[in-house]
Structure 1
Amino acid sequence: MFKTTMLSPSSVDGMSPTFDAIGLAVADMATSLKFYRRLGLDIPAESDHGPHAEATLPGGIRLMFDAQPDSAGPKNGPSLAFLCEHASEVDKVYADLSDAGYVTTRAPWDAEWGQRYAVLKDPDGYQVELFAWLPKS
């Protein structure tokens, strides 16, 4: 379903798989990539019209996008969480995406577990969470 690269034989022989990628099926590649670029991902513009795109996240994990117009969107699927540097950044990014017309699920709030949190949907309906640690009181 998703384009992946082969693990080296030593990884398989040594029974030490390494988590490498998260794959999302998307209905409209350009629309989805525009959303994730607003969240700071570096995705080449030429990917907008291809069947596959990916961005390497901090730490080396890849976020992959595959154009599958007939089967895109979550089926009780994953959520993606983006760490913001400060609580005010959660509010700012949430407002930017909301003002741009993206679907919001829950406005920013101070969660009982010590984080500023907000929840939106990407263009394919995947849940996207924004969070930042609150200062300890």
Structure 2
Amino acid sequence: MRLNQITIPVTDMTRSRSFYRRLGFRLLVDTPHYARFLAPDGDTTFSLQIADGPVSTGAVIYLECDKVDTEVERLRERGFQFETGPEDMGWLWREAILKDPDGHKIKIYHAGKNRIDPPWRVQED
């Protein structure tokens, strides 16, 4: 199996669609209640769906790049406000955090080999 996409609930499609397009996602499907995007790099897709009620945030969206500081500066120049970072984390990643219009946390990060192969990785029998 391959992960196809993640869909998150939003309260205002126009506002959220604009936010993710500004982040660099390419719009693939656009309806009043649903939008699907292609990630800026690679072939991962991501979608938004109008929520039936208030949005509860809990999922974290991770966007990996090679140069976190450069990417964060580029996004700041485009008007994005970050809550933290960039900073080195104890789990051997460098990351910065911002939130989308509905409060979904987005981490711009770089893990390199530690994304899949951290020093504490479980060893198969």
The alignment's TM-score, normalised by the length of structure 1, stands at 0.65
Task: Determine if the alignment matches structure 1 residue 51 to structure 2 residue 24.
Answer: no
Residue 73 (structure 1) shift: 4.0
Residue 85 (structure 1) shift: 2.4
State the SS of the aligned residue for 1:31: helix
The two structures, once aligned, show a CA RMSD in angstroms of 2.7
Task: Determine if the alignment matches structure 1 residue 31 to structure 2 residue 4.
Answer: no
The percent identity for this pair of structures is: 23
Query: Tell me, which stretches of 5 or more residues in structure 2 are unaligned?
Result: 113-125
The number of aligned residues is 111
1:25–1:71 Cα contact (<8 Å) kept = no
Deviation per residue, 1:97-130 (Å, 9 max, x gap): 6x34x4x332321223443210111111111000
Greater share of strand residues, 1 or 2? 2
Query: Tell me, which stretches of 5 or more residues in structure 1 are unaligned?
Result: 1-16
Residue 59 (structure 1) shift: 5.1
Structure exhibiting the larger radius of gyration computed from Cα positions: 1
CA distance in 2, matches of 1:108, 1:63: 24
2:85–2:96 Cα contact (<8 Å) kept = yes
Task: Determine if the alignment matches structure 1 residue 78 to structure 2 residue 56.
Answer: no
The alignment's TM-score, normalised by the length of structure 2, stands at 0.70
